[in-house]
Chains A and B, each alone.
Chain A
Amino acid sequence: MAEGASRSGVVKKLKATSIASAYQKEWFAGLKKRVEAGEDFGYLNADVPMEILRAMDIPFVVNQWWAAICGAKRMTRKYFGLLRDAGYRDDLCSYCATAFAESLDPDDHKVDAEGNPMGPWGGLPDPTLAITRLTCDCQSKIFELFARNHGASFYAIENTVPRKVPLKWFEMAPDDWEELYDTDRLDTAVEELKELIRFLEMKTGKMFDINELERVMNLINEQEGWYKKIRDLIASCHPVPVTVVDTINAVMQAQWQRGTEWAAGHAKGLYEEIKALADRGEAAVPNEKYRLMWIGRGIWHDFGFYQRFEQKYGAVFMWSMYLAMGADAYIRHHVEKDPLRALAARYIGMEDFLHMPPWNSQWYLQQARQNDIDGVVYMVPENCMQAVEGSYFIRKTLEDAGIPVLTFNADPVDPRKWSAETMTGLVEDFIEKRVIPMKEAREAR
């Protein structure tokens, strides 16, 4: 096995990635102890303003992170069988339905004959709170079912659609967020936060502290500021010192810990580690020739996919949303004026930045240019309306700018429909027929 190679054959070079993984396990074990001791525990969708729970010291797990853990532990096949047995369809909403399916698993908290836990990381402890946003018709239904199975209280936060859509949101978001959004949307979002706070206070007996939220928001700005430095650094390196295989896990795991001292410190450490690699001129792929952008959620069940084109073509997946969203979507300055409003200005845009044209397409284009991208591989997820995001407009925007795009359908957590061979062939064909010729033509000009 190569140095840094995992059982899946993925080669990870950063210490920060393994530090984050180790921390997650330790943190999760601590969380389980807190829940066992009777503390309230929240299960949240990724677009829920988790900063409120952080500020109130209510432990929580994020749905998308947990689905990725379940996917990486290859539990999906079993879980979707459980869904089918319970009368549900097994081909829908895989990202959101994974944890609900897990709640149907009678073995989740058991150990096998050899004493190994049967559920991922020993299984999800019973949440007392299940909170989602209404950014998709199915999501609230799944969360309600999940809450019922765990005996948790279900809470839903509404979503509004922007009327005002300035194209360069990524330039406005950190400082000019008041101008970025319709004022009445922000007003409503602040009121939503107040209602959420009241619900949490009633449910947990803990009182919200605005100064603690301000501290959390500032820690997040610090953390995301490091991500911005990392993103900018990687973009400027030719060849890049790290790939998405290094950054996705390091960032995603810490992102769900945002608002803690640990996460801010981890982001700083990640920057320093990558900066040291860059300063030494180390290349993730020494023969780097083509820089690829990955649009979509991570392929959690086949992470090695991203590295299959390095040796043969010198093609390196060097961009994913996980780092770049941290860089561009989270930072909100002027927190001290009104921490709740600054938080509202973060959470109401999160889905739109990713899933609404023109905000997503314009950002991808700007990012492709900053990162000198030669080709874009775009996974349109199966069975997920939330992630339906105007792929036509994204593709058109990039292609019109001379950046070739490969689009294909796949599922980030369900390996049943994934053929590594077919997908690898698709990307190889794309590199040979579009990425290489277009780059050569550009260079000839």
Chain B
Amino acid sequence: MGIRECARKNPAFQALLEAYTHREDAASAFRSSGGKVIGELGCDVPDELIIAAGMLPVRIYADPEKPLKETDRYLEYAFDPVVRSQFEKIVDGTCYDQIDHLVISNSTDVVIRIFLYLREMHRVEPEKHVPPVEFIDWLFTRNRLHQVRNEHTIGLFKEAVESWAGRSISDEEIRRAAEICNADRQALRRISALRTGKEVRVSGCEALVIIGSAFFMERQEHTRLVGEVAADAAEWPVLDGPRVFFTGSDQEDLSVYERIEDTGLVIVGEDHNWGDRFFDRDYNMAYTPVRAIVDCYMLREFSSKKAFVSQRVEALDRWVERTGAQAVIFYTNRYEEAASWDYPSQKKSLEERGIRTVNFAKMSYPVSANPDFPEKIQAFSEMLKNEITGKEAH
């Protein structure tokens, strides 16, 4: 299924696809006009502060084609392949040619290590062309002590952004940036509604483009384009396949989703950071800026990495109910282990609710390195279709 003609014909979607495909273009233009570009590694960097400072936040992403010449020297093999590939671009100089600063949030254990390694690299190998690094030491367990600590941490990050900007950032600037980010989240929720309503109008692949393009372009422009797509997509042809929810590894490109949706399945939601989780929670305009940022990022739906098993079970149950999924696809890359401890409990809970599951663990990266994946997902798709047809016949 992939991206359908109806989407490709839409000029706003074309623009989003252009930004999603040519990920450096907007950043390059932004820098050419004198702006600063901030690279983000980890999914919990508060865009509001960067946008408030007049800078452009962009995500660091993997390039599966790039040989890992530098990475293999520095990283132990236990680092997952996506992070390995991201690291290569950071240490081989590619990133520093595109961004002014790198911010790492401790969204997973792996990126914490990346921060420690880069900090040490700056100390012992200062000649390397590696961007300056700032770390956001979030605490994600939910209690008052950690909330207060996070407010302190975000205060430190604000100071860092101010030092890059060479000026202080006012509360009013942060609020304006928050309005921009909230508007974008709201626009993306309109897209989500078109995936999860009675009739599904937007495919998983199309949704990944619409959401993921936010990471590579100016946010207000993104919001405008998403709004136009949402208006048009309400009339796009209905997708009839079994509705599935995707949980597991971040999907930075369409290759996994394409293979899944090529079998006739329709991905109606996901809990990874290049999908629905990005716009899960708003910045609360009634709060003071630092407080609102902590509330927004600390209390988003649980990530697969920084949550307990019981929290993840409940979170997935909530996602599935919200999206009306009939089945869940678990998909994790090799060495991306944390979620695998959640899986048996999640599977049990879902199956008790009549939700089918299929598990693809220890997957090689990129997905093309798993030659049996299309056949296995096809078999799952056929099984689901037969079950649904059987149920309807009854």
Contacts and interface: CB of A to CB of B under 8 A. Distances in A.
B146 A158 contact: yes
B116 A92 contact: no
Interface residues of B, number: 45
Contacts of A391: 76
Given A89-B361, A138-B337, A158-B139, A393 B145 contact: no
B8 interface: no
Contact of A145 (B112, B123, B146, B341): B341
Contact of B145 (A86, A192, A357): A192
Interface in A339-378: 356-358
Given A195-B145, A409-B77, A358 B139 contact: no
Contacts of B338: 137-138, 141
Interface string B80-121: 000000000000000000000000001011101101110110
Interface stretch (B179-187, B188-196, B257-265, B305-313): B305-313
Nearest to A96: B341
Contact of A93 (B149, B337, B361): B337
B341 A393 contact: no
B340 A88 contact: yes
Contacts of B120: 357-358, 390, 393
Nearest to B343: A87
Nearest to A192: B145
A357 B125 CA distance: 13
A384 interface: yes
A142 interface: yes
B115 to A, nearest CB: 7
A381 to B, nearest CB: 9
B352 to A, nearest CB: 14
Interface residues of A, number: 45
A140 interface: yes
Nearest to A400: B124
Contacts of A384: 78
Interface string B128-140: 0000000101010
Contact of B116 (A87, A137, A356, A383): A356
B305 A137 contact: yes
B314 to A, nearest CB: 13
A392 B74 contact: yes
B141 interface: yes
B64 interface: no
A276 to B, nearest CB: 42
Nearest to A184: B152
A227 to B, nearest CB: 27
B145 A385 contact: no
B124 A393 contact: yes
A136 B109 contact: yes
Contact of A392 (B73, B119, B137): B73
A31 interface: no
B117 A383 contact: no
Contacts of A383: 78, 337
Interface in A133-167: 134, 136-138, 140-142, 144-145, 148, 154, 156, 158, 160-161, 163, 165
B373 interface: no
A388 interface: yes
B250 interface: no
A392 B308 CA distance: 31
Given A144-B310, A158-B139, A393-B124, A88 B73 contact: no
A393 B115 CA distance: 14
A385 B78 contact: yes
Nearest to B72: A392
B139 A160 contact: yes
A251 interface: no
Interface of B: 73-79, 106, 108-110, 112-113, 115-117, 119-120, 123-124, 135, 137, 139, 141, 143, 145-146, 149, 152, 305-306, 308-310, 337-338, 340-345, 347, 361-362
12 contacts: A86-B344, A87-B343, A93-B337, A134-B141, A144-B310, A158-B149, A358-B123, A380-B76, A388-B78, A390-B120, A393-B117, A397-B124
Q: What are the nearest 3 A-B pairs in CB distance?
A: A87-B344, A137-B338, A141-B341
Given A89-B340, A89-B361, A397-B124, 20 more contacts: A92-B341, A93-B337, A137-B306, A137-B338, A138-B338, A156-B141, A158-B141, A160-B137, A160-B149, A161-B137, A184-B152, A357-B117, A357-B120, A358-B120, A385-B110, A388-B78, A391-B76, A392-B74, A393-B124, A409-B77
